[in-house]
Structure 1
Amino acid sequence: MEYLSIFINSLVDLSNAMAPYILFGLLFAGILHESVPETLVTKHLGKESIASVIKATLFGVPLPVCSCGVIPLAASIKKSGASRGATLSFLISTPITGVDSILATYGMFGWAFTLYRVFTSMIVAMAAGILSNLFDKEKEVVKPKFSLSVNKPAEQSCCTTSACCSSSDKTAKFSMKKALRYGFVTLLGDIAKPLFWGLVIGALISSLIPQNLSDILSEHSWLSYAIVIAIAVPMYVCATSSLPIAAALMLSGVSAGAAFVFLSAGPATNTVTIGVVKNMLDKRSLYIYLASIVLGSLAFGIGLDHLFSSFEINPKSLLHMNEEAGMISVLSSIVMWMFILYFMTKTYLKRAKA
């Protein structure tokens, strides 16, 4: 019963922490879908090119969205025609940074650490996007070799009438109702199942993390990188809320590089995002996604330690601590679980009827 109680508490804490960002992400995705024409997304992010990856990365950097809030946004741009590489780079660059996180990082660690965090997150995101475009290309729709000539007049005559042209050429007026429906019905319906299992698995992992984590990490200086990665990848933590954790790790004796690994890999991924990436893209893109985050975070974490030691900088002198909580998160969690259980029940009933 004790373990069950710990698991339930972890699940509640995890849900409360994630729900506001997920709901905000769904709302933002719906507004984005209604505001930005699909042709614009297809034009800039649809091609399997380096340019589309760079644009997706730059677009994601300033957005104040965490690793769960980014899921519906990524799903939205993917549905609008973005390539796998662009979607993947957006998925990585967005949660690591964000305007709020950039300012908080500056306040806690200083400008040098902040610039390093932003710059390295962009490199990791771009590398993942380019690799995805190279090794996980979209399957082209095979068109029939011979097409009936009677189809051609129909295609040519589509825009010969003003009625037909007006439906496709004119920009539709913004509808908040459509935005909400797209965000909380279409997108949430797609991610409800992986979101459910991600929350459950994440709660299990969170409840199993040892209390003396900082002692373990300080005792194993080299292994601390691997230990932090093993915890950071499946664990849910936002870019801003990861800052006091990283600061606490550094104060307890963990190197700045290992703390940076947590700051980079923690917000970039979690069990929820992993499940959604697999469903939304495919296994190959998932492997590229995880490999880019893990190897990139480790490389830049080790690099940061070398920089600090070369310039004889004591990272502890940069630290300042902070914390916060609220009632909105509880209400958001209740709303989120109502949606998740509704869509999962709906799916189950459909399968039962079939």
Structure 2
Amino acid sequence: MEYINLFFIALFELSNAMAPYILFGLLFAGILHEFVPDTIVTKHLGKDNIFSVIKATLFGIPLPVCSCGVIPLATSIKKSGASKGATLSFLISTPITGVDSILATYGIFGWIFTIYRVITSMIIAMVAGILTNIFDKEESPVKSGFSAIKASNTLSPTFSLQKKEEASCCSTESSCCSTEKKDFWLTSAFRYAFVTLLGDIAKPLVWGLLLGALITVAIPQSISEILIEYSWISYIIVIAIAVPMYVCATASLPIAAGLMLSGVSAGAAFVFLSAGPATNTVTIGVVKKMLGTRSLAIYLGSIVVGSIIFGLGLDYLFSASDIDPASLIHMHEEVGMIAMLSSVILWGLVGYLLLMKKA
């Protein structure tokens, strides 16, 4: 009975932590969909080449979006015609290297750690995108675009009907068309965000939250003691904890700092900073559904291998320079009404969409 209570407490806390960012990401994606033409996304991110991957990585760096908020944005650019490689690069670089995360990293760890984190995150994202374009070739963009339209119409018949009405309006009276677009763009953005996109990720989102809560309960509380005792496999232990666990880039910083202050190596703490924000059970489920099993394997493999390699590299840099990583650390969290309200809204929308699909 105690574990059941702990599970629901963990689910409650996880939902509160993720819900505001998921809702923000959905709304942001809906607004982008209204104001950024699909042709721009297709032109810059639609090709299976290295340049689309680089552009997607650079585009994701400044966005202050976490690993759950990036899901609807990635889904949106994929529907707009982005290649699998570009989508995956965006999905990895965005949650690790947002402006808020970069500034917070500098505030806690200083400029050496910050620059290293940003550069290595970009490399991991680009490698994942390039490997995806090589080993998981995209179908023709035109076919992909038709599939997205078909999926959108299936999930949101009212949205489809409105688009048809707008098209007929344009064909008869241009002034009518411009007025309707100006007056109802926000409605269209909300419908695209909270019906079409959320409908796409509703089921993996629920399973991810449930599994994430279960993992949170199962993880030992004394992580740092285990990592210090088994330092030779600390990287593997951190990866096993960080990959399925939800933690945003900013929130991961005090955890990593605490690990380092407890005696865990800087490299192992870096692995947590890299793999933690880039992955979680929710994102894993969505990537599998959106991009397929092969892209999911590349996604996880690139993050795991890249994080371990660069973690070892960081330990080597500190040992070669005789700098104590703990000396670089310049070392808060409460659940407010907005977080709880967001959680209620998210679960309500997800439940409604899942019931509508079954009906």
Scaled by the length of structure 1, what TM-score is found? 0.89
- Which residue identity does 2:109 align to in structure 1? F
| Code of the aligned partner of 1:117 | R
Aligned to 1:158: none
- In terms of Rg, which structure is larger? 1
What residue ranges of structure 1 are gaps of 5+ in the alignment? 144-161, 350-354
The match for 2:161 is: none
1:305-316 paired onto structure 2 within 5 Å: 305-316=315-326
CA contact (8 A) 2:16 2:335 kept: no
Instruction: Verify: 1:318 aligned to 2:321, yes or no.
Output: no
Q: Deviations over 1:115-160 (max 9, x none)?
A: 11010000000000000000000123899xxxxxxxxxxxxxxxxx
Q: Do the aligned residues in 1 keep the contact of 2:81 with 2:141 (CA within 8 Å)?
A: no
1:14 alignment partner, SS class:
helix
Instruction: Provide the rounded CA distance (Å) in 1 between the counterparts of 2:142 and 2:123.
Output: 34
Q: How many residues align?
A: 330
1:117-132 superposed matches below 5 A? 117-132=117-132
Specify the SS of the correspondent of 2:339.
helix
Q: Which residue of 2 aligns with 1:264?
A: 274
- Matched residue, 1:13: 13
State the alpha-carbon separation in 2 of the partners of residues 61 and 91 from structure 1. Answer: 10
Question: Corresponding residue for 2:83?
Answer: 83
5 Å matches for 1:221-232? 221-232=231-242
CA contact (8 A) 2:95 2:249 kept: yes
1:69 and 1:48 map into 2 onto residues whose CA distance is: 25
Amino acid at match of 2:232: W
Note if 1:101 corresponds to 2:111.
Answer: no
Correspondence for 1:330: 340
In structure 2, what is the Cα distance between the partners aligned to 1:141 and 1:91?
A: 20
- C-alpha distance in 1, partners of 2:265/2:102? 21
Structure 1 residue 348 displacement after superposition: 2.4
- Distance in 2 (CA, whole Å) between partners of 1:256 and 1:268 is 18
* TM superposition shift of 1:345: 1.5
In structure 2, the CA distance between the partners of 1:79 and 1:308, relative to structure 1 (3 Å rule), is same
Residue aligning to 1:62: 62
Q: Which of 198, 202, 222 does residue 208 from structure 2 map onto?
A: 198
Instruction: Supply the distance in 1 between the matched residues of 2:108 and 2:142 (Cα, whole angstroms).
Output: 53
Q: Where does structure 2 lack aligned partners over 5 or more consecutive residues?
A: 144-169
In structure 2, the partner of 1:155 is: none
State the identity as a percent. Answer: 73
Which residue identity does 1:194 align to in structure 2?
P
The match for 1:241 is: 251
Residue 37 of structure 2 aligns with an amino acid whose one-letter code is P
**In 2, Cα distance between equivalents of 1:347 and 1:66:** 28
Offset of 1:317 from its aligned partner?
1.0
Q: Distance in 1 between matches of 2:256 and 2:232?
A: 17
Shift of 1:323: 4.3
User: How far does the alpha carbon of each residue in 1:303-332 deviate from its partner, in whole angstroms, 9 at most, with x for none?
Assistant: 000000101111111213354542211111
Whichever residue aligns with residue 284 of structure 1, its letter is R
> Is the aligned partner of 1:288 residue 2:298?
yes
3-state SS, counterpart of residue 249 of structure 2: coil
CA distance in 2, matches of 1:114, 1:330: 32
Q: Structure 1 CA distance, aligned partners of 2:142 and 2:36? A: 29
Distance 1:69 1:124 in 2: 20
Range with greater deviation from structure 2 (298-307 or 317-326): 317-326
Could you list the per-position Cα deviations for residues 151-207 of structure 1 after superposition, in whole angstroms to 9, with x for gaps in the alignment? xxxxxxxxxxx949x89xx9x658111111111111001100000000000000000
CA distance in structure 2 between the aligned counterparts of 1:262 and 1:322, rounded to whole angstroms = 19
Query: C-alpha distance in 1, partners of 2:254/2:283?
Result: 22
Q: Distance in 1 between matches of 2:349 and 2:60?
A: 26
Looking at secondary structure, tell me which structure has more helix per residue.
2
